[in-house]
Amino acid sequence: MEPRVREKSSSKTTEKLKEPEQFKVILLNDDYTSMDFVVEILMTIFHKSESDAAKIMLDVHKKGKGLVGIYTWDIAATKVEQVHAAARANEFPLCCVVEPA
Ligand code: TYC
């Protein structure tokens, strides 16, 4: 992946600013997690509206996986941990993964 590079120059210095790398959070389907729980996770952890959350959940249910959002590394990794912690606490096997965007 080639990072985009912006160059800013002044008379004395040349500064290179890289865009922060972006990561996709991908939600995976399983046969046990309830649809309501997935919608709740999408609303609380990913701040989706109820109708967007329901659409994403159904898309993942039908296709096996789906994009939830694109974030910087720290935010993507934190959201994945939050999903797994909530799933574990509710005894669901819900899983999501991070991929480079
Ligand atoms: N397939 C689950 C069911 O039928 C629902 C589900 C949707 C689970 C999306 C996980 O990421 C998921 N109860």
Average pLDDT of the segment spanning 9-20: 67
Contact 68, 96 (CB under 8 A): yes
Ligand 1 centroid, distance to 31 Cα (angstroms): 6
- For ligand 1, atom 4, name the residue with the nearest CA: 31
Which atom of ligand 1 is the closest one to the Cα of 35?
Answer: 5
pLDDT of residue 15: 73
Handedness of CA 79, 67, 72, 44 (dihedral sign): negative
Name the closest-CA residue to atom 10, ligand 1. 29
Residue whose token pair is 């974030």? 71
Q: How many residues does the chain have?
A: 101
Q: Cα–chain-centroid distance for residue 44?
A: 13
Strand pairing partners for 96?
27
> Rounded to two decimals, what is the model's pTM?
0.85
The token duo for 41 is: 């996770």
**The predicted structure's pLDDT at residue 20:** 85
Interval 31-69: pLDDT, tens: 999 999 999 999 999 999 999 999 999 999 999 999 999
Q: Residue 12 pLDDT > 60, yes or no?
A: no
